[in-house]
Amino acid sequence: MKKIPVMLILLLIYIVSNADSFTPSHYCIKPTKPYEFTNQWQVDNYDNEVQRYKMCIIDFIDEQNNAINNHINAKNDAIEEWNQFVSYGY
Q: According to DSSP H, which parts of the chain are helical? A: 6-17, 40-87
Would residue 44 count as lying in a domain? yes
What pLDDT does 15 receive?
65
Number of compact structural domains in the chain: 1
**Calpha distance 31→33 (Å, rounded):** 6
Q: Tell me, yes or no, if the pTM score tops 0.85.
A: no
What is the per-residue pLDDT across 5-55, written as a single tens digit (0 to 9) for each? 676 667 667 665 666 677 899 999 999 999 999 999 999 999 999 999 999
Single out the residue of 77, 20, 57 nearest to residue 85, CA to CA. Answer: 77
Q: What is the pLDDT of residue 88?
A: 87
pLDDT at 68 over 70: yes
Domain that holds residue 31: 25-87
Alpha-carbon dihedral sign for residues 49, 52, 56, 58:
positive
Residue 78 covered by a domain: yes
Residue 52's CB is within 10 A of a number of other CB atoms, namely: 13
Q: Does 78 have pLDDT greater than 80?
A: yes
Is residue 4 one of the residues assigned to a domain?
A: no
CA distances from 13 to 1, 9, 23 (A): 21, 6, 20
For residues 53-70, give the mean pLDDT: 97
